[in-house]
Amino acid sequence: MEDIALAPDYGGVIVIMIAQVVMGIVGVAYVLSKISITGPSSGLVYGILSSALVLVFALSFILFPVKWLVKSALVWKLGDAGSGWTFKSAASVTGYAYMANLILSLISVPILVYFSPAISIDTSNLEAARQLLASYQSQLVALKFTFTIPSLFLTLLWKSYLGALGTNFGTKHMCKVSGAFLIFFLLGLITIALSLFT
């Protein structure tokens, strides 16, 4: 993180973002493979469902660079501490801190895919389909609280630590590691809250 802060570049950040997009595509493909729809208009229902998933993923892909730049600007200003460090350095530190997300995604996506419940929906019985979807949703909520939230919190701690180190070096040690950690941690908590409750 010292090298990243003192000789900032965006090449590695772009590679990290592309790798996360690939992981997202793999995750969406596996989710779709676990959904089976039968009965009348099954093709239409599956098409709407897959289109909705692809749309959500596409929006997250578009918002990822925006989120990175906004977070970088906040880290740049909040972590400055009178050092006069550059936005390029802050953006590089913030981008490389996403390495924690990528590494834990490589571990967690296969686990989530394995433990995600399969679902088969019969469109000929709408009431049974509604009950099945409600049951499926409760299983996903249970998975979220037993695995997703703890892994997000672990990622947040690791990412905040990496970002704090980079900020400390980038500001020539004027911003303490503890203060930079708090900045990254609070910004990350806001992001997690928005992703979990929207």
State the pLDDT at residue 76. 95
Task: Kindly report whether the global pTM for this prediction surpasses the value 0.85.
Answer: no
Mean pLDDT for each consecutive 10-residue tract of the chain (198 residues)?
89 89 77 76 76 77 86 94 90 94 83 74 75 74 72 91 95 94 93 67
**149-189: pLDDT as tens digits:** 788 889 999 999 999 999 999 999 999 999 999 999 999 98
CA distances to 10, 58, 187 from 138, rounded to whole Å, are: 41, 25, 29
Report the C-alpha gap between 2 and 66 in whole angstroms.
Answer: 25
Contact 104, 153 (CB under 8 A): no
What's the pLDDT score for residue 82?
Answer: 85
Q: How many CB atoms lie within 10 A of CB 107?
A: 10
**HSE-up (13 A, CA, CB side) for residue 56:** 10
**CA–CA dist 69, 79 (Å, integer):** 15
